Amino acid sequence: MPVEILTYGALGARLKISPAAARSLAKRRGLPRSLSEDGRALVSVDLAEIRYTPQPPGRRQAGDGAQLTAMIATLRAEIAQLEARAAGHRADFEHERERADRLMAEVLQATAETTAAREATARLEGEVAALRIAVRAGSSNENHGHSARRVGHLAASLVEADRKAAGG
């Protein structure tokens, strides 16, 4: 069949569809369009190439509405399930966050105690080294009295460190 130049109304009448549907069909198919002298749109179309069978509008719309309503109900139920699942995950997250905060506080406390113990150990080791040097240097009465005081001080430091380590 040869190419015909039709208005949207004429194309719609030939295909048994509305002029708006004919215009939409022409746009979808990319048919060449032009304007007539009176300002109306004209479409160049080969009707043999267009195999268009319109569906009855009443049946299609009613069926689509029922399907859409069913899909909306299904999606709403799915959203409710996802929200419930998200709330459960949120509760788990909050619980784990609190647990992590408690563990972090314990780690910081243990780190502080370890640092204090290392400092006390270093101080006590220094005192023991000083006593050893004093003992090697000689054992005069003056030196002996000083060493005895240092030993007493060392013993008191050990007892204090032991009490701190025991938690009392």
Contact in structure between 134 and 150 (CB atoms under 8 Å): yes
Give the per-residue pLDDT at 161. 74
Residues in a beta bridge with 7: 42
- pLDDT above 70 coverage of the chain, percent: 81
How far apart, in whole angstroms, are the C-alpha atoms of residue 153 and residue 96?
A: 47
Query: How much is the pLDDT for 123?
Result: 86
Res 21 pLDDT > 80 = yes
Confidence of residue 96 (pLDDT cuts 50, 70, 90): very high
* Structure token pair of residue 53: 């069978």
Q: Tell whether pTM > 0.75.
A: no
Res 146 pLDDT > 80 = no
d(CA 48, CA 25): 15
What pLDDT does 98 receive? 97
- Contact status, residue 3 vs residue 45, Cβ threshold 8 Å: yes
The DSSP code sequence of 51-103 is ---PPPHHHHHHHHHHHHHHHHHHHHHHHHHHHHHHHHHHHHHHHHHHHHHHH
- Torsional sign, CA 135, 138, 142, 143: negative
Q: How many CB atoms lie within 10 A of CB 91?
A: 10
User: Band of the pLDDT at 37, cuts 50, 70, 90?
Assistant: confident
pLDDT for 87 equals 95
Task: Report pLDDT digits (tens) over 51-88.
Answer: 777 666 655 555 678 888 999 999 999 999 999 999 99
Mean pLDDT for all residues in the chain: 83
